[in-house]
Amino acid sequence: MPFKRDVHASSVYKEPAPIRDHENPFEAMVDRFDVAAQILELDPGFYEYLITPTRIHITAIPVVMDTGRIKVYTGYRVIHNDILGPSKGGIRYSLDVNLPEVKALAAWMTWKCAVVNVPFGGAKGGVTCNPREMSAGELERLTRRYTSNLIDVFGPDKDIPAPDMNTNAQTMAWILDTYSMHAKRTENAVVTGKPIKLGGSLGRREATGRGVMTTALAGMDRLGMRVPQSTVAVQGFGNVGSVAAQLMAEQGCKIVAVSDVSGGYHNANGIDITKALEYSEKNGYSLEGFDGAESITNDELLALEVDILAPCAMEDQITSRNAESVKAKIIVEGANGPTTPKADAILKDRGVMVIPDILANAGGVTVSYFEWVQDRQGYFWSIDRVNRRLDRMMRIAFDSVFDVAHQHDVTLRIGAYVDAIKKVADALKLRGIYA
Contact 374, 380 (CB under 8 A): yes
> Do the strands 55-64 and 254-260 form a parallel or antiparallel pair, or are they unpaired?
unpaired
Handedness of CA 90, 93, 98, 99 (dihedral sign): positive
Secondary structure (3-state) at 322? coil
321 Cβ neighbours under 8 A, 6+ residues apart: 20
Phi-psi region of 256 (alpha: psi -120 to 50; beta: other; left: phi over 0): alpha
What distance lies between CA 58 and its chain's CA centroid? 22
Active site residue 194: no
User: Could you tell me whether strands 70-81 and 121-128 are parallel, antiparallel, or unpaired per DSSP bridges?
Assistant: antiparallel
427 CB-side CA count, 13 A: 18
- Nearest alpha-carbon partner for 9 in 41, 56, 50: 50
**131 CB neighbour count, 10 Å cutoff:** 18
Closest CA to 355 of 207, 165, 220: 220
Given the residues 103, 124, 329, 342, the one annotated as active site: 124
Task: Give the Cα separation of 163 and 150 in Å (integer).
Answer: 16
| 263-266: strand order across its sheet | 294-296, 263-266, 254-260, 231-235, 308-311, 330-332, 353-355
Alpha-carbon distance of 422 to 215, in angstroms, equals 22
DSSP 8-state assignment for residue 329 = S
Report CA Rg, the chain. Answer: 21
Return the beta strands (E) in 110-262 as ranges: 121-128, 159-163, 231-235, 254-260
E strand or H helix at 77: strand 70-81
> What DSSP element (H or E) covers 401?
helix 383-408
Say how far apart CA 415 and CA 428 lie, in whole Å. 20
Spatial separation of the C-alpha atoms in residues 65 and 205, rounded to whole Å: 30
Measured distance CA(426)–CA(137) in Å, rounded: 46
Enumerate the active-site residues. 124
